[in-house]
């Protein structure tokens, strides 16, 4: 959210990954459409995706049909659904021939999304930035359990940022990995340099879970705002209006624009530990792949006897 624009997604695709533009990041539907055009230009026609975050609140989902219609008109090849069940949107997406990857946090939700027709699953571990779910199952368990329980490709996510973890994910049975927090220091991310410098400095200990009180765990950067939110939760306050000034989306945009990283609840996972250098997407991918080769060779040299 806010960061996945055409420049970033285009760079991810050109470096050999798959990226997803977040439609809500742009002020109008026309601006979102313009980003799809720009991404098509940057990638010279290569496939890319759009993220559709399905809310528990139906009124928040009204825009999603419009976002999908635009993606279909613009012949976007991939959709990542996340949050709640994508079932209501599946006929529209599948009729358009789009490949759907649903991102979720339990095997049960994954199985139900597969029954609804999604083509692949991204399974999140508790380490993940953003919404790691209420059961908070660790990635090492998700990776071993979920691919076994499904007959579609599975992408593992949450806490990942190195090539040795990529090899571990493949060894567990996953078909790929998804990186969120690790990528926030990419040169192609438009956020202010001060924000990226902060992410570079922090470790796996510098995140917090907020909004558990609303059954909506969110893993965010440990900052003045997330500490204030945790204080409201500790006081047992359940009136959302008291949280709104801290958690509303525009604060996050402001934080990225100004580099004031104490502002807003900013999605961030434990994999921030691996975001140690501001570098191009291509360099980040190269570093991960080089690390993966070292890990693969190390395993190849182990004597099982």
Ligand X SMILES: Cc1cc2nc3c(=O)[nH]c(=O)nc-3n(C[C@H](O)[C@H](O)[C@H](O)COP(=O)(O)O)c2cc1C
Give me the residues that bind ligand X (CB under 6 A), please. Answer: 1, 3, 22, 51, 53, 82, 103, 124, 127-130, 157-160, 178-182, 184, 267-269, 271
Q: Which is nearer to ligand X, 42 or 268 (CB)?
A: 268
Q: Which is nearer to ligand X, 197 or 235 (CB)?
A: 197
- Shortest spacing between CB 10 and ligand X, in angstroms: 17
Q: Cβ–Cβ contacts within 10 Å for residue 108, how many?
A: 11
* Closer by beta carbon to ligand X, 139 or else 147: 139
* C-beta closer to ligand X: residue 17 or 269: 269
Closer to ligand X by Cβ: residue 236 or 269: 269
Determine the length of the chain: 305
Q: CB-based contacts of 179: which residues, under 8 Å, 6+ apart?
A: 157, 160, 161, 271
Distance CA 28, CA 12 (A): 24
Residue nearest to ligand X (CB): 180
Is there a contact between 223 and 261 (Cβ–Cβ < 8 Å)?
Answer: yes
- Contact between residue 163 and residue 288 where contact means Cβ atoms under 8 Å apart: yes
Distance CA 201, CA 196 (A): 9
Residues 132, 156: Cα–Cα separation, whole Å: 12
At residue 28, the 3 state secondary structure works out as: coil
Nearest distance from C-beta of residue 247 to ligand X, angstroms:
14
Tell me how far, at minimum, the Cβ of 128 lies from ligand X, in Å: 3
Q: Tell me the closest approach of the beta carbon of residue 199 to ligand X, in angstroms.
A: 9
Closest distance between ligand X and the C-beta of residue 178, in Å?
A: 6
């Amino acid at each position: 959210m806010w960061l996945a624009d055409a420049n970033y997604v285009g760079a991810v695709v050109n470096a050999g990954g798959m990226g997803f533009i977040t439609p809500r990041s742009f002020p109008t539907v026309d601006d979102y459409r313009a980003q799809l055009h720009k991404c098509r230009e940057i990638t010279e026609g290569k496939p890319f995706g759009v993220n559709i975050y399905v809310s528990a609140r139906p009124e928040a989902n009204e825009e999603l049909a419009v976002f999908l219609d635009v993606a279909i008109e613009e012949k976007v090849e991939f959709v990542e659904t996340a949050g709640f069940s994508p079932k209501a949107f599946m006929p529209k997406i599948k009729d358009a021939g789009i490949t759907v990857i649903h991102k979720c946090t339990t095997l049960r939700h994954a199985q139900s999304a597969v029954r609804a027709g999604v083509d692949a699953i991204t399974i999140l571990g508790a380490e993940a930035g953003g919404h790691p779910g209420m059961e908070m199952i660790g990635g090492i368990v998700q990776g071993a359990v979920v691919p076994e329980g499904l007959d579609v490709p599975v992408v593992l996510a949450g806490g990942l940022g190195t090539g040795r973890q990529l090899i571990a994910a493949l060894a567990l049975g996953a078909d790929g990995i998804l990186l969120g927090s690790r990528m926030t220091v990419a040169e192609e991310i438009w956020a202010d340099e001060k924000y990226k410098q902060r992410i570079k400095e922090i470790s796996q200990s510098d995140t917090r879970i907020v909004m558990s009180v609303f059954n909506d765990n969110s893993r965010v950067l440990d900052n003045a705002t997330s500490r204030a939110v945790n204080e409201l939760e500790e006081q047992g306050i359940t009136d959302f209006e008291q949280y709104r000034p801290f958690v509303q989306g525009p604060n996050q945009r402001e934080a990225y624009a100004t580099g004031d990283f104490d502002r807003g609840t900013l999605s961030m996972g434990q994999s921030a530990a691996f975001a140690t250098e501001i570098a191009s997407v291509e360099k980040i991918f190269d570093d991960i792949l080089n690390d993966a080769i070292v890990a693969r060779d190390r395993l190849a040299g182990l004597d099982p006897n």
